[in-house]
Structure 1
Amino acid sequence: MARIAVIGAGMGAMAAAARLAVAGHRVAVYERAETPGGAVGRFERDGFVFDTGPGLLHLPAVYRDLFVKTGKEPLEQCVAMSQVDPASRHLFADGTDVSLPNASRAGVVQALDGAVGPGAGERWSDLVNRAREVWDATRRPLLEEPLHAERVPALGRDPYPAPPRRGWWRRRSGPLTLAAVAERELQDPRLAALLESHALAHGLDPRSAPASAAVLPYMEQTFGSWYVSGGMHGLAAALHARCVARRVEFFFGAEVVALVEKDGRAAGVRLADGSVVEADMVVSGVAPGRLEGMPPTESAPVPPGRFGVFLALGGARPEGTVHRTVVHGSDRAAELEAVFGTGPVAGYRPTVTVLRPDDPATRPDGEHEAVTLTATVAPHGGRVDWSDERTAADFADRMVRAAEAAVPGLRERESWRVVRTPADVEAATGAAGGGAPAPVLAGRDGRFLRPANTTSVPGLYLAGGFAHPGGGLAHAGMSGAMVAGLVVEGADWRGSQ
């Protein structure tokens, strides 16, 4: 039985902790905040409840497997989950309005044909079919196996297949991007915006993201969108409870500041109060740059930030309201330059995701509604100071104005709002820039991969969004499974069979 110190109580770190405890190890988690969940947080006020992180889960099988492997009670016995249907509503700048059913290929085709025009659904379906080939080619090496150095060259090649066309595909030069796929295969700016919105939501620039990023809408459309009653933080609370049931120790308000080494291997952690916790192995679930003594990794660009507005509304949620609506921006070029380039933050109308859960636990009574608005923005620091109140207030106002397309009379119903900028996210989670890393993707010579779960320091492992296989609720859970497999089975472990 080894003593294992886990840094951070994020989803990847807790997933690793639960599995390692079941394997017979003595596990202790050190978290600088006062609650578990990391980026999967919650804000409460006056009976209103809002998720501060992900609002939906798209690969529930990851957590079903985790709960099966770590206890007798399955996931659905620990949290109440339901499929969101429609999966999403999309409002485009030209007034086009389309709702896409949950996990229904035929239903999506029919909806797009009706809203965008005949043939639109088929073009989208053809793209999703090609994305399925990406999923089949990368599911195991990217999502079920640890990242080994010998696999990196192969994963640096984009598996997105060429469509059965001639001419433009042969004439293209350089790597194929998601934006190029959208332009060439979908042939409609609304379908292109639909495809690119999945990348933007994950903090990916469609102009540089590989074509393999088409796997993101494939996963959502194939495996569905799921919501946890009471908010997605309930999933984090359930995982924490599972860890506690497996006798994982938690120390909150205990910030780890450095890795401790002895004889060339990980030997514990040093806390902010100067105390040292000895351990046989260490699992880090936080950004490597936050800790002293961590081995160097290839630096990745700071991802875009996440800007949120929590709205307490008077008046009941109308019957038939869609859970998630994406209000697409009106100027693609201006938005992408503002988020990923050097364009001004002021002036453009952002793409805004509007979350309106039909959940009594999120509101004080039936005569009120809790609405969350989110947008992907430039990261905090550098060229944008999101701690500036005027900058934040102006952007929040533009988000609310955009969201009125999805919530008529929104400003008249507003009782109060709370703005959560990337600066706030950075302060709360420690994530540089106030965003979250994207899921790993194949292609572009491996630049969209994350550091491996093993490190150059024996006994030190990496979990969570800053390690393989990247960010997102499901991917974090996968990283925990990989770390546990490597610890229990050894460095030659190649994934579950």
Structure 2
Amino acid sequence: MPQQKAVIIGAGIAGIAAAIRLAVKGYTVEVYEANSYPGGKLSQFEQNGYRFDAGPSLFTMPQYVDELFKLAGKNAADYFGYQKLDVVCKYFYEDGTRLSAYADTKQFAKEIEDKTQEPAAAIIRHLANSRDIYDITNHVFLERSLHRLKTFLRWDTIRSILRFPQIDPFRTMHKANLSGFKDARIVQFFDRYSTYNGSDPYQAPATLNVIPHLEHHFGAYFPDGGMYSITQSLVKLAEELGVQFKYNYKVDEIVVINSVAKGIRAKGEDILADVVVSNMDVWFTYNRLLSKHPKLHPKKILSQERSSSALIFYWGINKQFPELDLHNIFFSADYQTEFDHIWNQQDIYHDPTVYLNISSKYKTDDAPEGCENWFVMINVPANNGQDWDQLIATARNHIMNKLSRLLHQDIGKLITTESILDPRGIENKTSSYKGSIYGTSSNSQFAAFLRHANRSSKAAGLYFCGGSVHPGGGIPLCLLSAKITAGFVK
């Protein structure tokens, strides 16, 4: 019997992981990528002696990367190394408060108690609640398909359903945090986790309070070669398994005949396959690659609210700041107004929360000696036709003023090189509709449970993985989406 073939559209992290899993299953696998490089959002670039990780900068749950090497019978350490962070992130408030989010729970709770009005016990209690939400949802929501009957026939699923009220789906994240803490700074601290999937804490369900558990239980890590080394190591593994990557190869159509996916069309050629996996955003998958098949389109899913996007400045800074760490957050003085601007006014607040990542803190050759590579990001609305050039120019000034004020240094005078990525560029480079980073938002009670399935219910042989489908965006969830998708393939 001839070997079965799978084609994967897109070499994002989920597409690469799906390729590895299908190759291990015995498939001949080809990955078609429109860009000249793999990784999707998880890419890199160099500019004037500085190296920048272009996209995701937080690495949690490395076991999902290690799992791919074990699956292939390889030693992960031969391909990929990482170190656990003692401090997950440093936080800067407008009132002068500075907090270090230690990885150790007790040390972290003591830091909060020493520097704010919040007792350590409240932090311990909140993280215990975060753990409970994880325990209830993990095996049901994160690791299995919600679009498969047998998922709901398992005893652990039934047990989780019986505990459903404990995941706190009927309050917003902000209301839950407001009832749990008395210090507004700590409410804001834990509200921030809604941005990990591009949502709004004033709308999103308190179920998202599961996210702190991923940092403070499993920990945060730095890959030895920077974030892009995740992509590089997995591509190397895939190639060793026989996966072929076709770069600069834009797919024009998914070929569907009699409700069966038969392959793809690219560069005027039909490439036949037994399995087709799209790692492209589902909106573009349907509206570009399946435009001839409107009956296949899940109209409700495609009309869902998109997640927020990002505005990123990549700055080469000719100075080092010992008070900064790998991950740093500079909070807005008015969080609710900031989110109102993002979600209701569709623009950028004059005092945005600024995330600053400096990989040269751990990988010193990412910047020239005595310098630092700054990845400066703020959350912004998805692209709905705003005047981005004006918004970017104004936001740049506000960000520089904010960082200069809180770091007591004129940051503008230290910038030696600059590159900018906005929602338009995110859409163009990664085929993310409207530049939304995480596909759909989680701003309604059950939005996270209503994401697109990992396989088509209307076209046999058609599957989906990546941040726009179940279980969601971010590196760990994208890797899990590939696992769920490959599990469907016989």
The TM-score, its normalising length taken from structure 1, stands at: 0.88
Cα distance change, pair 162–46 in 1 and its aligned pair in 2 (3 A): closer
The separation in 2 between residues aligned to 1:439 and 1:340, in whole angstroms, is 13
Is the 1:12–1:479 contact (alpha carbons within 8 Å) kept by the matching residues of 2? yes
Is the 2:329–2:356 contact (alpha carbons within 8 Å) kept by the matching residues of 1? yes
Number of the residue aligned with 1:140: 139
The C-alpha deviation readout for 1:165-218, integer Å capped at 9, x for no partner, is xxxxxxxxx921101111111122111110111112431111111111000111
Q: In the alignment, does 2:156 pair up with 1:161?
A: no
Deviating more after overlay: 55-64 vs 413-422: 413-422
Q: In the alignment, does 2:204 pair up with 1:199?
A: no
Q: What's the CA shift for 1:397?
A: 2.1
Give the root-mean-square deviation of aligned CA atoms.
2.5
Q: In the alignment, does 2:205 pair up with 1:189?
A: no
The separation in 2 between residues aligned to 1:44 and 1:421, in whole angstroms, is 18
Q: In the alignment, does 2:325 pair up with 1:326?
A: no
The separation in 1 between residues aligned to 2:165 and 2:412, in whole angstroms, is 44
The separation in 1 between residues aligned to 2:405 and 2:62, in whole angstroms, is 31
Cα distance change, pair 359–132 in 1 and its aligned pair in 2 (3 A): closer
SS at 1:371 equivalent:
strand
Q: Name the aligned partner's letter for residue 353 of structure 1.
A: Y
Number of the residue aligned with 1:90: 91
Specify which of 365, 370, 384 is matched with residue 367 of structure 1.
370
Is the 2:203–2:443 contact (alpha carbons within 8 Å) kept by the matching residues of 1? no
Gaps of 5+ in 1: 164-173, 489-497
Deviating more after overlay: 196-205 vs 439-448: 439-448
The separation in 2 between residues aligned to 1:342 and 1:115, in whole angstroms, is 34
Q: What's the CA shift for 1:414?
A: 1.8
Number of the residue aligned with 1:12: 14
Number of the residue aligned with 1:313: 317
Is the 1:157–1:442 contact (alpha carbons within 8 Å) kept by the matching residues of 2? no
Specify which of 234, 242, 250 is matched with residue 229 of structure 2.
234
Number of the residue aligned with 2:415: 414
Same amino acid, percent of matched pairs: 24
The separation in 2 between residues aligned to 1:426 and 1:432, in whole angstroms, is 6
Number of the residue aligned with 1:495: none
Specify which of 262, 281, 295 is matched with residue 287 of structure 1.
281
The C-alpha deviation readout for 1:342-387, integer Å capped at 9, x for no partner, is 2643x521011111231345534322211111111111224x232x
The separation in 2 between residues aligned to 1:362 and 1:160, in whole angstroms, is 49
Gaps of 5+ in 2: none
| More helix, by proportion | 2
The separation in 1 between residues aligned to 2:82 and 2:343, in whole angstroms, is 35
SS at 1:213 equivalent:
helix
Deviating more after overlay: 435-444 vs 365-374: 435-444
Number of the residue aligned with 2:400: 400
The separation in 2 between residues aligned to 1:276 and 1:373, in whole angstroms, is 43
Number of the residue aligned with 1:492: none
The TM-score, its normalising length taken from structure 2, stands at: 0.90
Is the 2:448–2:472 contact (alpha carbons within 8 Å) kept by the matching residues of 1? no
Is the 2:277–2:463 contact (alpha carbons within 8 Å) kept by the matching residues of 1? yes
Cα distance change, pair 454–223 in 1 and its aligned pair in 2 (3 A): same
Number of equivalences:
469
Cα distance change, pair 289–17 in 1 and its aligned pair in 2 (3 A): same
Matches within 5 A, 1:101-140: 101-102=102-103, 104-119=104-119, 121-140=120-139
The separation in 1 between residues aligned to 2:84 and 2:25, in whole angstroms, is 32
Cα distance change, pair 162–145 in 1 and its aligned pair in 2 (3 A): closer
SS at 1:374 equivalent:
strand
Number of the residue aligned with 2:37: 35
Q: What's the CA shift for 1:407?
A: 4.4
Q: Name the aligned partner's letter for residue 288 of structure 1.
A: V
Deviating more after overlay: 293-302 vs 334-343: 293-302
Number of the residue aligned with 1:218: 213
Specify which of 462, 481, 484 is matched with residue 483 of structure 2.
481
Matches within 5 A, 1:318-467: 318-319=321-322, 321-342=324-345, 344-345=347-348, 347-357=349-359, 358-382=361-385, 384-386=386-388, 388=389, 390-404=390-404, 407-409=407-409, 410-437=411-438, 444-446=445-447, 448-456=449-457, 457-467=459-469
Is the 1:158–1:443 contact (alpha carbons within 8 Å) kept by the matching residues of 2? no
Is the 2:282–2:469 contact (alpha carbons within 8 Å) kept by the matching residues of 1? no
The separation in 2 between residues aligned to 1:157 and 1:431, in whole angstroms, is 36
